[in-house]
Amino acid sequence: MNVELILLALAPVFVLCIGIEAWYWRGRRPGMYSLRDTLSNATLALMHQGADKLAWLLVVPFYAWLYDHYRVYTMPAGWVGFVLLFLVQDFLYYVFHRASHRIRWLWAAHVVHHSSERLNLSTAFRQSLMYPVAGMWLFWTPMALIGFTPVQIVGVVLLNLAFQFFVHTQAIPKLGWLEYVLNTPSIHRAHHARNPRYIDRNYAGVLVIWDRLFGSYVEESDAEPCEFGIVDQIHTHNPITLTFHEWRTMARDVVTTPGWRNKWMALFGPPEWRRANGSGAGASAGLGTLTSASGALEGGGGAAETVADGGPLGRVGQSFEQNVRDVGAVEASQHRVQIGRERGGRGR
């Protein structure tokens, strides 16, 4: 099997698990799944897989070139080599993931994954086609220099991501001693929360030891239930808008922010730098244009189009975007009411 197709090969397993989880929550917490949210996640997954496949066509030969000409060692075959491969990649994933929350250029791609106000197994599908542009592949280059082959690199990266599918759930409680070793659903729920207590914590891929070693671990607390989403919440299910809204806002900030240092910070500073310096009004408020894709995810159809600010088309676009936000706000409100009822029923 082509190692680059690991995630596609596992897709039937993922879809089956999503179906089981949706059935499980149907009578317990109906708001856990939303059809439009799930369809949006699935569309984003397909877009991401297409972009990744194209990226591997360019990146794998680059890894091979590094391996052939600049590797410092040839890693042994067998279990020793596999354990080293797993540990090195999992650590590099931690570095990548932490950087993706602290460098706005990387966050512009990663924000897509955090933008849903729900957390369920389908949220794992919510990925960005812009990861290759942001430079995710650069974080794996040390593996080629160390002495791992391109096939090993791609394979272990995809296996790490496959494991992470299963931590995107609220159906599994804390797992005892495993919480000290592995990235668990509880640990990852805290990572997806936008509560100040949880923001920018728990970057683990498979092993949580990196978070514990480098001070980024936080425990999920029953006293402070997780609120999912992003600080500047964007209420839309449009996969095009979800993919590009932060890139567009970032580009606008670079153009409008005075001073070269500030422009650099608008690109590569921490995401909150924009809010702290007043160079933007937030991701959801920063949608100066409306990009709508064909399909029913936003209740519209036709070819993709961009409607600029100003004039009749601009007013139509702004009105449409406001309607979408209103629908999203209603769904979010219903979701919170349902959670509140359940917590009240449990005496919490």
Distance set, CA 48 to CA 16, 20, 69, 240 (Å): 20, 24, 31, 12
Residue 342 lies in a domain: no
> Is residue 163 situated within a structural domain?
yes
pLDDT for residue 278: 58
Number of domains in the chain: 1
Where is pLDDT greater, at 52 or 308? 52
292's enclosing H/E stretch is strand 290-292
In a domain, 266, yes or no: no
Q: What is the DSSP letter of 120?
A: S
Answer whether residue 26 shows pLDDT above 60: yes
* Rounded-to-integer distance, Cα 292 and Cα 273, Å: 29
Mean pLDDT along residues 126-136: 97
- Longest Cα–Cα distance of the chain, Å, equals 66
Long-range contacts formed by 57-61: CB under 8 A, 24+ apart: 59/132, 59/137, 60/4, 60/150, 60/154
What tens digit of pLDDT does each residue of 168-210 get?
Answer: 999 999 999 999 999 999 999 999 999 999 999 999 999 999 9
Please, what is the angle between helix 150-165 and helix 79-102, to 10°? Answer: 60
Res. 320: pLDDT tops 60? no
Residue 327, pLDDT above cutoff 50: no
Average pLDDT, the chain: 84
CA dist., res. 156 & res. 174, Å (int) = 26
Contact 323, 333 (CB under 8 A): no
- Nearest CA to 112 out of 137, 136, 90 is that of 136
Phi and psi, residue 281, nearest 5°: -100, 15
In this prediction, residue 280 carries a pLDDT of 45
Could you give the percent of the chain with pLDDT greater than 90?
74
The label of the residue with tokens 């920018």 reads: 200
**Is residue 121 in a domain?**
yes
Helix residue spans in the chain (DSSP H): 6-9, 11-26, 35-70, 79-102, 104-114, 131-134, 141-146, 150-165, 185-192, 209-213, 239-256, 260-268, 272-276, 311-345
For residues 185 and 111, what is the distance between their CA atoms, to the nearest angstrom?
A: 19
Give yes or no for a contact between 201 and 190, defined as CB atoms under 8 angstroms apart.
Answer: yes
What is the average per-residue pLDDT within 20-25?
A: 97
Rounded mean pLDDT of 222-238? 95
Strands 290-292 and 305-307: antiparallel
Instruction: Judge whether 297 lies within some domain.
Output: no
State the pTM of this model.
0.80
Predicted pLDDT of residue 4 = 79
In a domain, 280, yes or no: no
- Residue 112 sits in which domain range? 3-214
pLDDT of 202? 98
pLDDT of residue 77: 86
Q: What is the pLDDT of residue 303?
A: 35
Task: Answer whether residue 269 is part of any domain.
Answer: no
- Tell me if 114 is assigned to some domain: yes
pLDDT score of 16 more than 60: yes
pLDDT tens for each residue of 252-288: 999 999 999 999 999 999 998 865 665 543 333 332 3
- CA 293 to chain CA mean position, Å: 21
Closest to 254 measured CA to CA, from 277, 284, 231: 277
The predicted structure's pLDDT at residue 10: 94
pLDDT band at 311 (very low <50, low <70, confident <90, very high): very low
Beta bridge partners of 182: 207
pLDDT at 1: 55
The two structure tokens encoding residue 208: 């949580």
CA separation, residue 142 to residues 79, 136, 153, 223, 263 (Å): 20, 13, 10, 41, 29
Place 298 in a pLDDT band, splitting at 50, 70 and 90.
Answer: very low
Token reading at 99: 């950087």
Q: How confident is the model over 10-25, as a mean pLDDT? A: 97
| 312-316 mean pLDDT | 37
Q: Element (H or E) spanning 305, and its range?
A: strand 305-307
Q: In angstroms, what CA-CA distances link 179 with 52, 206, 337?
A: 31, 11, 30
